[in-house]
Structure 1
Amino acid sequence: MPPIDRRTFHRLAARAAALPVLATLAPQAAQAAEPRPSTVARGLQNPWSLAFLPDGRMLVTEKRGQLRIVEPDGTVRAPLAGVPRVDAGGQGGLLDVVPDPRFADNQRVYWSFSEPGDDRGSNGTAVARGRLDGNTLSDVRVIFRQQPKAGGGSHFGSRLVFDRDGKLFVTLGDRFSRKDDAQVLANHIGKIVRIDTDGRAPADNPFAGQNGALPEIWSYGHRNVQGAALHPATGELWITEHGPQGGDELNIVGRGRNHGWPVITTGRNYGTGTRIGEGEVRDDVVAPLKHWVPVSIAPSGLAFLTSTRYPGWQGSLFLGALRGQALLRLELDGNQVVREERLLTRLGERIRDVRQGPDGLLYVLTDNADGRILRLEP
């Protein structure tokens, strides 16, 4: 469905307030006004990910291969030394970054990137870790490599999320040219994997010990997941996923489950608009909570708001939109999306990432050659 204008939105919201399922949500929604974006830092070249350290400093990746510290006052530091070479081209480069849950004790950070392969033109998503020592990363090692590597510069994923047990989820794309492999358990193409901090597969993973399946795999049938966050109450992994021509999805990831791509999707083939795969639903495939059709928003970045800094918004889910050039707020009733609101549309910029800061405020990254960190002021 195409985006609606503000007048239409308020008319529909008023009508929805009369429905029993939304009646209790309407008074909250009426209190909230769109926050004002203020620039915290700028001059970042195509920033991809933002993560907060315990002391309020920010780690920011730039797609071309630099990892930087940004001070709370917005000072952008020189790139950290020690980052391995990335294959920066197309959608590839230096991607997500997260601190270890025990960062205060071990100073470790983890990042994903498109790693060049041995064969000319091949590459694949990889995950590395290192210890932050001043402005240098030491003890750097690659702990995971997507197999097999492939050619091209598309569909690398890749978001990193720690679960409550300290295991690391890694989202991996289908590399565009190998979409059929997303249904095959003998590779990492189009999968979400779950690994220990040293890269090994945990023994309680769903396919551990199964013949013909890689033990790292947590779920399969994914196209290109670039938004991921842990639900603050349930601990479930929520993701947003790029569809092709339409068919972007919001999903709760099922343990060991098939999410359908490319056999079950609401997306369509580029150009022709013809159907992909078998259809839009199948009993053994996890159905998305929400999909965007017929126009893609290109979702990237995902965060639950747990703070009370924005009246009426606690518990909402926020996601960036690249093609949609907006920050989307999804109002939830349990696992149902009951309202969508588009924010920051006047910026006219691609929103690459969104995070809740230690101060309870929302921070977003804009994706361009003069990228910014914006803070949403209530």
Structure 2
Amino acid sequence: MLRSLKAATAAATLSLTLACDAAPEVFHSDKARFRLETVASGLEHPWSLAFLPDGSQLVTERAGRLRRIRGGQLDPDPIAGVPEAAVAGQGGLLDVVLHPDFANNQLLFLSYAHENHQGKTTRVSRARFAGDRLESVEVIFDALPRSRTNRHFGGRMAFDEDGYLYLAVGDRGDRPRAQDTRDDAGGVHRLTIDGDPAPGNPFLELTDVQPTFFTYGNRNIQGMTRHPITGEIWTHEHGPRGGDEINLISAGTNYGWPTITYGIGYSGLPITDKTAMPGMAQPLHYWDPSIAPSGMAFYTGTDVPEWQGDLFVGALKLQKLVRLKIREGQVVEEEDLITGFGKRIRDVRMGPDGVLWLLTDERDGEVLRLVPQ
């Protein structure tokens, strides 16, 4: 009898322990309690996320595949017809964004690293989404000149309120290119959906600046989002060792890289002794040391009213989510979230369901929802 009672007690304890272990971890912040809900896993270094009108999602894998998630299930087969990406170093299939009128025209845009005999570059293609495949795929932009490096492709994209496409191109690991306005590297380009310079671009009348440039002097932008109220385009970019920046993108602005920076070289040696110069913009906010920022999104949900309008930025190196409260152009509050999560955050998106979505940059990458409790 005693042995049976002990066995029953042990079994009950084990069952309770397993149940507790299986329970999702609840994270605490200054403003909210929330858990991370796994929507899908088994993705190879997912890079970008887009929400389709029917409630499903598209996810890019840096390895060159475009995947679809329906009803919380990852389709076993990738979307067919995706253009071939050069998968090496930081290159591969990068961003996916939907045309603002996607519900009617089914157009989407992909950025990716592309290679030919002249080298690699950041390329953008437009395509028509046909459910399980892409059709009418057309290259609309190649950043030139090409080079042999596998770094700093940039690749983040966003549409403005006028329907023009913003594309970030990194300096390709060659610092001086970001200040060379005849070179497509190291800046933000503003394009029509055909890849032409957008009307109203700041350098259209100049012969020594690429007409698609909207800004230059950018090192490697990998976060870009449109402000939900003002419609302005916000970005962040990787610094070297320190000097990660958040910037409000303004027409014709030189953001200074590498002439000014708050970071130092990976060798530990200075890149420059200047953090400011006339004619070069200061960042809205910067990190030192580097957090290696990734995707970013403004919170527009209603579950956590205290987060309304806050900017959320993922971090690769420091494996966390950062919340920034911004008032009148100043960061007035900064909070680190999910610091014990232990995975690289690649993308952050505000979902149509009113919650934040995250991608983890892992060989077995995940799509996650941040669900308030």
Give the TM-score taking structure 1 as reference length: 0.89
How many angstroms does 1:77 deviate by? 4.2
Aligned to 2:45: 46
Q: Does residue 1:258 correspond to 2:257, yes or no? A: no
How far 1:53 moved relative to its partner? 1.1
Residue 70 (str. 1) matches residue 69 (str. 2): yes
2:363 aligned with 1:372, yes or no? Answer: no
Q: State the aligned residue count.
A: 345
How far did 1:334 drift? 2.7
Query: What pairs with 1:1-378 in structure 2 (closer than 5 Å)?
Result: 32-119=31-118, 122-176=119-173, 178-271=174-267, 273-293=268-288, 295-378=289-372
Specify the SS of the correspondent of 1:345. coil
| Partner Cα separation in structure 1 for residue 71 and residue 55 of structure 2 | 6
DSSP 3-state at the match of 2:48: strand
- Asked whether the 8 Å contact 2:98–2:107 carries over to 1, the reply is yes
**Paired residue secondary structure (1:104):** helix
8 Å CA contact retained: 2:112, 2:122: yes
Q: CA 1:31/1:173 → structure 2, altered by over 3 Å: closer, same or farther?
A: closer
Runs of 4+ in 1 over 6 A off after TM superposition: none
Instruction: Please report the RMSD computed on the Cα atoms of aligned residues, expressed in angstroms.
Output: 1.4
Q: Quote the Cα distance in structure 1 between the aligned partners of 2:76 and 2:56.
A: 11
CA contact (8 A) 2:113 2:121 kept: yes
Deviation per CA, 1:60-81: give whole Å up to 9, x if none.
0000100011113233341111
Does structure 2 conserve the Cα–Cα contact (< 8 Å) formed by 1:31 and 1:312? no
Whichever of the two has the greater Rg, that structure is 2
Name the CA distance, whole Å, in 2 between partners of 1:347 and 1:30.
14
1:278, 1:185 → 2: CA distance?
Answer: 23
1:31/1:311 contact within 8 Å kept: no
DSSP-derived class of the 2:286 partner? strand
Q: Distance in 1 between matches of 2:47 and 2:347?
A: 7
Mapped to 1, the partners of 2:31 and 2:43 lie a distance apart of 31
Asked whether the equivalents of residues 67 and 74 of structure 2 are also in contact (C-alpha less than 8 Å), the reply is no
Equivalent residues of 2:219, 2:257 under 8 A apart: yes
Q: Distance in 2 between matches of 1:310 and 1:76?
A: 32
Which residue of structure 1 aligns with residue 3 of structure 2? Answer: none
Identity percentage of aligned residues: 47
Distance 1:72 1:331 in 2: 33
Structure 1: tracts of 5 or more residues without a match: 1-28
Deviation track 1:313-361 (CA, whole Å, cap 9, x = no partner) reads: 1111001100010011111213211111111222200000010111111
What is the alpha-carbon distance in structure 2 between the residues aligned to residue 346 and residue 76 of structure 1? 30
